[in-house]
C-alpha cells in the first residue's frame, strides 16, 4: 500500500499538471477569438477576387487563354510525372487528435500514390518531422515553413504561394493537392483534401453567372495580362485562408483537449485525496488498536 | 441638385479598410499612370502598381498607400483590392526601418535554430512599409 507521503507527492504533481493544462486552455481560448476574426476579415477579399476572376474568365475568348502567362495554371496536365502535396499541420502538439488525423490522412494519400515521385511542401513542425521520419518513399521535401503559428499573416501565404508556383511551373508536376484541417466549429475540425492546381476545375464550375456582363468593361492592361497577374494572388488568397483555417482549428482542438485534460486532472485529484484520507484513517485505526490491545495485555 | 457620389471600398487580405464610403473623387495609381475617377466613370478593371491613392469627400481629404492590386470601377462603385493598403500617415518609417534591419540581420546569421521563414516574412513586411513611407515622402514634395 502506498504511503501517505507518496500519495501527497502524486497529488501535488497532478496539481501542477492541471495548472499547466488550464493555462494552455485559457491561452488558446483567448487566441481563438482573434483567429476567428482573421478568418472573417479575409473573406471579403477572397470573395471579390473570385468574382473578378470569374468575370475576367467569362470575357476571355477560348484562344486568349494559352496566350496569357496564366494559361499554364489552367491546363490539365498529362497524367504521369510527379505529384505535389501541400500539408498544413501545427507546430506544437497538445492539441488532441489534430495532428494525428492529419498525418494519417497524409500517409493514406502517400500510400495511394505509392511509386510516384512526390514533392512535398509542408507547413508546421509536426508535419515536417513526420515526413522526415518516413522511409522508403520517393519523396522530397521541396519547401518547409515552420514557426508561423499562431501569427500567420498574408506574407506567409505569399511566400508559400511563390514556392508552390515556382515548383509547379518549373517541374512536370501533374497536380497540387492540399491537405489541411478546416475549422468547422469550436468542437469539431474536418480534414480537407483539395486540389489546388491546375485551376480550371474550380473556376469553370461557377462560371455561368459571369457571362451576362460581357463587353461592359474596359481593361488595362490587356485581359490576359490582367488574368496572369490575378491568378497568383488568387492562389495566395486561397492559401491564406487555408492557413487561417488551420490555425483556428488548431486552437479549437487545443482548447477542447486541454479542457478535458484539466477535467481529468481534477477527477484524479479527487480520487487521490479520498485515497489519502482513507489511508490516514486506516493508520490511525491500526495505531489505536495496537495501543488498546497492548494496554489490555498489560493490565489484564 | 443632389451631388453624385462614388462608393469606395478597399479590401486587403487581412482586413477591409473601407467599405462603401461615399466620396466625390478618387485617384488611383493605375498600371499606366495615375488615374482620376469621378462619378459616372465608365466600367473599368485595372491593375494597380504600388503608389498612393487619394480620395476627397467635401473638404476632407485622405491619402492611402496601396501596394500591388487591382481596381474595379462599375456603376459608381470603386473597389480596390490591394495586397496592402494603409493610411499614409499611419506608417511609421523609423519603425519600419528598424524592423527591416533586424530581419535582414537574422537572415544573415543563418543559425541552425533560427526561424528563417518568419524572418523572411518580416523582412518582406518591413520592405512593404518602407516602400510606403518612401512613396509618401516623394509625393509630399
What is the mean pLDDT of the segment spanning A171-192? 86
Q: Which CATH architecture has domain A25-257?
A: 3-Layer(aba) Sandwich (3.40)
Following DSSP, what letter does each residue of chain B receive, concatenated? -PPP-EEEEEE-SS-EEEEEEEESEEEEEETTEEEEE-TTPPPEEEEE-SEEEEEEETTEEEEEEEEEEEEEEETTEEEEEEEEEEEGGG--HHHHHHHHHHHHHHHHH--SSS-HHHHHHHHHHHHHHHHHHHHHHHHH-
B92-140 CATH pick, 3.30.56, 1.20.5, 1.10.3470, 2.60.40: 1.20.5
- The CATH class of A4-24+259-292 is mainly alpha
Assess B125–A contact: CB distance below 8 Å, yes or no: yes
Q: pLDDT tens digits, residue range A116-127? A: 888 889 998 898
pLDDT given for residue B1 in this prediction: 42
Where is average pLDDT lowest: B40-54, B74-88, B127-141? B127-141
Residue B30: closest C-alpha in chain A: A220
> Measured between beta carbons, which residues in chain B are less than 8 angstroms from residue A56?
45
Domain segments of chain B as ranges: 6-88, 92-140
pLDDT over threshold 60, residue A288: yes
Rounded to a whole number, what is the distance in Å from the CA of A87 to chain B's nearest CA? 16
Provide the mean pLDDT of chain B: 78
Percent of chain A with pLDDT over 90: 31
Q: Which of A50-59, A126-135, A215-224 has the highest mean pLDDT?
A: A126-135
Q: Where is A126: in which H helix or E strand?
A: helix A125-133
What is the mean pLDDT of the segment spanning A97-116? 88
Q: pLDDT tens digits, residue range A36-80? A: 888 888 888 888 888 887 777 777 665 555 555 556 676 667 777
pLDDT given for residue B136 in this prediction: 67
Following DSSP, what letter does each residue of A228-253 receive, concatenated? HHHHHHHHHHHHHHHHHHHHHHHHHH
Q: pLDDT tens digits, residue range B74-133? A: 888 888 888 878 776 666 777 777 777 877 777 777 654 556 666 776 777 677 777 767
CATH 1.10.287.80 in chain A, residue ranges:
4-24+259-292
Q: Nearest Cβ partner of A156 from B31, B70, B121?
A: B121
Taking Cα atoms as reference points, which of A163, A147, A150 lies closest to residue A28? A150
- The CATH class of B6-88 is mainly beta
Residue B140 vs residue B46, higher pLDDT: B46
Q: pLDDT tens digits, residue range A201-212? A: 555 555 544 454
**B11, A52: Cβ pair inside 8 Å?**
no
Q: Which residues of A are catalytic?
A: 95
Instruction: Read off the pTM.
Output: 0.82
pLDDT over threshold 80, residue A298: yes
CATH 3.40.1380.10 in chain A, residue ranges:
25-257
**B45, A52: Cβ pair inside 8 Å?**
yes
Q: Which three cell numbers, joined as nine digits, stand for A172? A: 512536370
ipTM score of the complex?
Answer: 0.73
Amino acid at each position: 500500500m502506498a504511503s501517505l507521503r507518496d500519495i501527497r507527492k502524486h497529488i501535488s504533481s497532478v496539481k501542477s499538471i492541471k495548472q499547466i493544462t488550464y493555462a494552455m486552455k485559457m491561452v488558446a481560448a483567448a487566441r481563438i477569438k482573434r483567429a476567428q476574426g482573421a478568418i472573417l476579415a479575409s473573406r471579403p477579399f477572397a470573395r471579390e477576387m473570385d468574382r473578378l476572376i470569374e468575370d475576367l474568365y467569362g470575357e476571355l475568348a477560348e484562344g486568349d487563354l494559352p496566350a496569357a502567362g496564366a494559361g499554364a495554371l489552367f491546363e490539365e496536365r498529362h497524367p504521369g510525372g510527379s505529384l505535389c502535396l501541400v500539408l498544413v499541420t501545427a507546430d506544437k502538439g497538445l492539441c488532441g487528435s489534430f495532428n494525428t488525423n492529419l498525418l494519417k490522412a497524409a500517409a493514406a494519400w502517400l500510400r495511394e500514390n505509392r511509386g510516384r515521385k512526390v514533392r512535398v511542401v509542408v507547413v508546421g513542425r509536426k508535419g515536417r518531422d513526420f515526413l522526415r521520419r518516413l522511409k522508403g518513399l520517393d519523396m522530397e521535401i521541396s519547401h518547409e515553413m515552420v514557426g508561423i503559428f499562431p501569427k500567420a499573416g498574408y506574407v506567409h501565404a505569399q511566400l508559400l504561394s511563390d514556392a508552390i508556383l515556382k515548383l509547379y511551373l518549373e517541374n512536370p508536376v501533374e497536380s497540387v493537392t492540399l491537405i489541411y484541417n478546416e475549422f468547422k466549429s469550436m468542437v469539431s475540425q474536418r480534414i480537407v483534401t483539395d486540389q489546388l492546381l491546375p485551376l480550371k476545375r474550380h473556376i469553370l464550375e461557377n462560371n455561368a453567372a459571369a457571362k451576362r456582363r460581357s463587353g461592359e468593361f474596359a481593361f488595362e492592361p490587356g485581359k490576359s495580362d490582367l488574368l496572369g497577374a490575378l491568378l497568383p494572388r488568387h492562389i495566395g488568397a486561397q492559401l491564406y485562408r487555408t492557413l487561417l483555417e488551420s490555425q483556428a482549428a488548431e486552437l479549437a482542438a487545443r482548447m477542447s483537449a486541454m479542457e478535458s485534460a484539466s477535467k481529468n486532472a481534477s477527477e484524479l485529484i479527487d480520487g487521490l485525496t479520498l485515497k489519502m484520507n482513507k489511508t490516514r484513517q486506516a493508520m490511525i485505526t491500526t495505531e489505536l488498536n495496537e495501543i488498546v490491545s497492548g494496554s489490555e495485555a498489560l493490565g489484564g | 441638385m443632389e451631388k453624385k457620389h462614388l462608393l469606395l471600398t478597399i479590401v486587403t487580405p487581412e482586413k477591409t479598410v473601407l467599405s462603401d464610403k461615399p466620396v466625390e473623387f478618387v485617384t488611383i495609381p493605375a498600371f499606366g499612370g495615375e488615374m482620376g475617377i469621378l462619378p459616372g466613370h465608365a466600367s473599368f478593371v485595372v491593375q494597380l502598381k504600388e503608389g498612393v491613392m487619394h480620395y476627397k469627400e467635401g473638404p476632407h481629404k485622405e491619402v492611402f498607400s496601396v501596394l500591388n492590386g487591382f481596381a474595379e470601377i462599375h456603376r459608381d462603385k470603386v473597389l480596390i483590392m490591394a495586397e496592402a493598403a494603409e493610411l499614409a500617415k499611419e506608417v511609421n518609417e523609423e519603425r519600419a526601418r528598424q524592423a527591416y534591419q533586424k530581419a535582414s540581420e537574422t537572415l544573415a546569421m543563418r543559425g541552425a535554430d533560427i526561424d528563417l521563414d518568419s524572418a523572411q516574412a518580416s523582412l518582406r513586411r518591413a520592405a512593404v512599409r518602407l516602400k510606403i513611407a518612401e512613396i509618401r515622402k516623394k509625393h509630399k514634395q
